[in-house]
Amino acid sequence: MRSLPLHAPGSPRTARPLVRLGAVLATAVLAVSAAGCGAPQHNPAPPIDAPAAPASGAGSALTGADVNAWLDGLLPAALDRTDIAGATVAVVNKGKILTTRGYGYADTGAGGNAAVPVDPDRHLFRMGSVSKLVTATAVLQLVQNGKLDLDADVKTYLDFELPLRHERAVTLRHLLTHTAGFEERIAGLIGTDGSDLNLRKALMTEPPEQIYRPGTVPAYSNYSNALAGYIVERVSGTRFEEYVQRNVLDRAGMPSSTFEQPLPAALRDRMSNGYDTSAGPAAPFEIVGTPPPGALSAPATDMARFMLAQLGEPVGFAPLLDQPTRELMQRPALDATSLGTLADGPRMTLGFFAEDRNGHRILGHGGDTKYFHSHLQIYPDDRAGIFLSLNSNGSGALDSQELRESIVNGFADRYFPARDDQATTGVDPATTAKHAALAAGTYESSRAIQSNFLTAIGLVGRTTVSVADSDRLLVEPGPLSDSPALYEEVAPWVWREVGGQRTIAMRATDDRVEAISFDSAFALLPVEPARAWVVAVPVLALSTVVLLLTVLSWPVGAIVRRRLGRAPRERAGRTARILSRLAVAGTLLAFAGWVLSIGSIMSLQDVPGPVLRTIQVLQLVGLLGVLPAAVRLVDDVRRHLGWRRITASGLILFALAGAGWFAVEFHLLAPSISY
């Protein structure tokens, strides 16, 4: 699960946990609507320092003593600096659990209890989207047994209809690689009530729309993984939670792990608390509305066994997958046939993200709930792996992401540094200059909502790509970062970060770049001209300011007329004026309602349907008010009422028309209010 939580990007895949991202989005929308300002600037904390990596090709020996010393020198100070309550870590190597470590507290004692240090063998942490690896493993087991076909239409396995827009069939391969084309869905993602969990009902109730052609656009989707989990349930004839318990967790020797929500009685007192910061109160146990994408709870020791099982090492009482199926799960699942040149960048396997570093093949997955943040990486060719989970957000917006990135990248650099013989390639300057010019523009994430009022959140979190030094690209902000990054082309349509290891790949036509993949399940797509900041934000801001000034002018004008002894306004045109005022008030109330509602939704608080419909009615009143506003302007001109009255009427018409355009363009009046 990534920051809408339940994951999200790369190395770590959780670069922007959903909830954290939601808070930023809500704040930005509020700022834009109220004052026409952009998103607030974030000043990141300085990077967490790790011990220096060995020279190229001369990695430290991966031993228990060395990795313990490395972790002990890094994590305690990092937790203290970031106000993260606790962490749990596991490292495996050559078929053995090399170490499991606990740092900080599973219970800080803030509720009056004695503080309890993290025990990696005892305390369960929430896995967030790392759970997707278990779900994918369950799917591959049924593929191995001949009960599922990765390339069959998923309609074959479902007992309800999916509202699909494209003719190309959606397959399990698409579901496991986040390329089924579904838009984001937020409602019911995480809550605290587990009394009515029903996977089928959750998937059937107002499913997300399909906005991309299957197999063509990487767009991270919790719904896709949940659908794969339901297919496991349907084909096996066993409730999903029970199937994975018996066939994945128990088989891998993970006796303290579960997808059950709430936790079974035997595990409840072993659950680590979740915190915003180490100084805050403990949060309630989180309930993931669709369990397959993110409901796993597990201790570090069990996650070490899961890594060993994924590496094909003997663990538990039986292999999770036979060798051919395990290799199938761990190799790229889509090629250029559907992805085009995006296939030359990082690609999903059947469940894992490609997180290669220093020339080593690394497969991983990150995960976020509202309070827990995890990451798992395995090195299939080196027979190693590392797992890390944090039980707090930290005091900074990106603390959990930066700490996880510091650990997993530091682990790679220390024990698996770059080989001396890594080859580098390039592209001739004329070609790369042409490619750079085509790439310049504004982009938004493929993980988006395009069918309803939440389309408006696409105004924030955008990425600008510009040409630097004639043949390089400046990406602002850089992928999985909040700082700019400079890229150079190292192969046709493949760009690598200057001084770094991140790569991006592009798919282009003769006149434009149509997609940029920056992480295995995430892409950037060009912003439509009408929705560009230079159009949408000024229109929204100016319309809002004019409407606010109009409302403020009403009592001021009445007071001035009374004190100067002026007669009330003539009755001619009164109906148009009244209707215009209703439209002005309706528009402002609607905008305020959208800001509050979007803020609540992005904080994972449900907003009742009647409330959203009421806001839409107010918005519609504002849109229809364009007509009486136009009548009022024409009447003022016809009766020669002076430039001030005519200018005021013109501005009101402009503001209502601008607000109405924004409402239509960003689907604030869309029939669907499913989010």
CA distances from residue 535 to 591, 658, 662, 667 in whole angstroms, order as listed:
18, 10, 10, 16
pLDDT at site 635 = 84
Percent of the chain surpassing pLDDT 70: 88
Q: Please indicate, yes or no, whether residues 652 and 549 belong to a single structural domain of this protein.
A: yes
Which whole number is the average pLDDT over 582-601? Answer: 93
Which of 3-12, 35-44, 562-571 is most confident?
Answer: 562-571
Instruction: Flag whether pLDDT at 140 surpasses 90.
Output: yes
Q: Average pLDDT for residues 438-455, to the nearest whole number?
A: 91
Per-residue pLDDT at 24: 34
Phi, psi of 360 (to 5 degrees): -100, 140
Tens digit of each residue's pLDDT (9 = 90 or more) over 244-287: 999 999 999 999 999 999 999 999 999 999 999 999 999 999 99
Q: What is the pLDDT of residues 169-198, one digit of tens each?
A: 999 999 999 999 999 988 888 887 777 789
Domain membership flag for residue 522: yes
> Where does the pLDDT of residue 11 fall: very low under 50, low under 70, confident under 90, or very high at 90 and above?
very low
Structural domain span for residue 644: 531-665
| 279 in a structural domain | no
Report whether 636 contacts 652 (CB < 8 A): no
> How far apart are the C-alpha atoms of 445 and 459, rounded to whole Å?
11
Summarised one tens digit per residue, pLDDT across range 151-165 is 999 999 999 999 899
Q: Which amino acid is at 336?
A: A
- Kindly report, residue by residue over 615-667, the tens digit of the pLDDT: 999 999 999 999 999 998 888 788 777 777 788 889 999 999 999 999 999 99
The per-residue pLDDT for range 275-327, each reduced to its tens digit, is 999 999 999 999 999 999 999 999 999 999 999 999 999 999 999 999 999 99
pLDDT at 116 over 90: yes
Reply yes or no on whether the pLDDT at 334 is more than 70: yes
The pLDDT assigned to 577 comes to: 83
The tokens for 106 are 């599973």
In-domain check, residue 606: yes
Average pLDDT over residues 106-123: 94
Within 13 Å and on the Cβ side, how many CA atoms surround 482? 21
Q: Which residues of 124-163 are buried (b: 16+ CB within 10 A; e: fewer)?
A: bbbbbbbbbbbbbbbbbbbbbeeebebeeebeebbeeebe
Listed residues 529, 561, 592: the one ending a domain: 529
Phi, psi dihedrals of residue 32, rounded to the nearest 5°: -65, -45
In the block, residue with structure tokens 């020279």: 55
3-state secondary structure (DSSP) of residue 98: strand
- Asked if pLDDT for residue 594 goes beyond 70, the answer is yes
Q: Are residues 475 and 583 in the same domain?
A: no
Q: Quick check: 51 pLDDT over 80?
A: no
Alpha-helix residue ranges (DSSP H) falling in 565-665: 574-602, 609-624, 626-638, 643-665
CA 489-492-497 angle, 5° bins: 25
Report whether 130 contacts 167 (CB < 8 A).
no
Cis ω before 12 (30° cut-off from 0):
yes
Count of Cβ atoms closer than 10 Å to residue 97 Cβ: 19
For the segment 336-394, what is each residue's pLDDT rounded down to a tens digit? 999 999 999 999 999 999 999 999 999 999 999 999 999 999 999 999 999 999 999 99
Do 521 and 546 belong to one domain? no
Residue with tokens 């990135």: 405
Q: Residue 597 burial (CB < 10 Å; 0-12/13-18/19+)?
A: buried
- Do 522 and 542 lie in a common domain? no
Radius of gyration over every alpha carbon of the chain, rounded to an integer in angstroms: 27
Under the banding of pLDDT at 50, 70 and 90, the label for residue 674 is confident
Are residues 522 and 535 located together in one domain of the fold? no
Per the CB < 8 A criterion, the answer to whether 636 and 646 are in contact is yes
- Per-residue pLDDT, averaged over 542-555, amounts to 88
Per-chain mean pLDDT for the chain: 88
The partner residues of 368 in beta bridges, in order of sequence, read: 373
pLDDT in tens, 491-535: 999 999 999 999 999 999 988 999 999 999 999 999 987 777 678
Are both 520 and 540 inside the same structural domain?
no
7-21, 33-47, 81-95, range with greatest mean pLDDT: 81-95
Mean predicted confidence (pLDDT) in 3-22: 40
Judged against a pLDDT cut of 70, whether residue 10 lies above it is answered with no
SS3 617: helix
H runs (alpha helix) in 237-278: 240-244, 265-268
Number of structural domains in the chain: 2
- Which helix (H) or strand (E) segment holds residue 375: the answer is strand 373-379
Would you say 8 and 14 are in contact if contact means Cβ atoms under 8 Å apart?
yes
pLDDT of residue 573 exceeding 70, the answer is no
Residue 574 is assigned to a structural domain of this protein: yes
Residue 675 and residue 667: Cα distance in Å, rounded? 12
Name beta bridge partners: 508.
513
**pLDDT value of residue 57:** 59
Residues 616 and 520 in one domain: no
Dist. CA 376–CA 362, nearest whole Å: 10
pLDDT band at 45 (very low <50, low <70, confident <90, very high): very low
Co-location of 520 and 450 in the same domain: yes
Pick from 391, 660, 674: which is nearest to 540 by CA?
660
Burial of 107 (0-12, 13-18, 19+ CB in 10 A): buried
Q: Are 514 and 566 in the same domain?
A: no
Domain shared by 659 and 620, yes or no:
yes
Q: What is the dihedral of CA 436, 441, 446, 448, to 10 degrees?
A: 170
Q: Determine the 3-state secondary structure of 580 from DSSP.
A: helix
Tell whether 535 and 648 lie within a shared domain.
yes
Residue 338: what pLDDT?
Answer: 94
Parallel, antiparallel, or unpaired: how do β-strands 86-93 and 96-107 relate?
antiparallel
Does the residue 316 lie in any domain? no
Q: How many CB atoms lie within 10 A of CB 512?
A: 11
| The last residue of a domain, from among 496, 529, 562 | 529
Shared domain check, 511 and 536 = no
Do the beta carbons of residue 401 and residue 41 sit within 8 Å? no
pLDDT of amino acid 342 = 96
Q: What is the pTM of this model?
A: 0.87
Give the other-Cβ count within 10 Å of 280's Cβ. Answer: 16
Pairing mode, strands 522-526 and 513-519: antiparallel
Dump the DSSP string for 414-437.
HHSPPPTT-------HHHHHHHHH
More confident residue, 194 or 429: 429
CA 131, CA 374: separation in Å to the nearest integer?
A: 10
- Note whether residue 627 is domain-resident: yes
For residue 589, being part of any structural domain is answered with yes
d(CA 522, CA 447): 7
Domain boundary (529, 560, 589) is at 529
Contact 378, 364 (CB under 8 A): yes
Question: Do 375 and 357 form a contact (C-beta atoms < 8 A)?
Answer: no
How does residue 26 score in pLDDT terms, banded at 50, 70 and 90? very low
Q: How many CB atoms lie within 10 A of CB 213?
A: 14
Residue 345 has a pLDDT of 94
- Are 409 and 357 a contacting pair, CB within 8 Å? yes
- Say if 660 falls within a structural domain: yes
Residue type, 31: A
